[in-house]
Amino acid sequence: MTAATPTTARTDAAVANCLKAIGGLALWLFAGATFLLLPFTVMASDNCDADDARTICTAAGQQAVAYVPLITAPAATALGMWGLLSRRDMAPLAWIIAMVMLGVTWMVVISIAGI
């Protein structure tokens, strides 16, 4: 195995930094959409009647749909950015966990809202 030349090392670092920037952009866009758009799904309760048994028609369901995205998005953003910026070996796993958190939030809210 040959030693890495300075040019190769710089190229590898540039590629890694570019991938981190793309990952950060994707994280911020996904978290922003989660934070700004997903709480509006609480409006799915507009057609609820007094005897409606759907989860979105309960007070707890409406609170979950409204507040889960508002809590998850900033937490996932902080965790994901730490994962991208940290130099620890397992740090990129934090970015993956953050993206999964956002995806699960979408699935849970949409399933409660019944959209």
Tokens 């040019």 found at: 7
Model confidence band, residue 9 (pLDDT cutoffs 50, 70, 90): low
Cβ atoms 21, 80 nearer than 8 A: no
Cβ atoms 34, 110 nearer than 8 A: no
Is 0.85 surpassed by the pTM of this model?
A: no
Q: What pLDDT sits at residue 43?
A: 84
The pLDDT tens digits of the residues spanning 19-62 come to 888 989 999 999 999 999 999 888 887 788 888 888 888 888 88
The pLDDT tens digits of the residues spanning 79-91 come to 999 998 888 888 8
For the chain, the domains span: 6-113
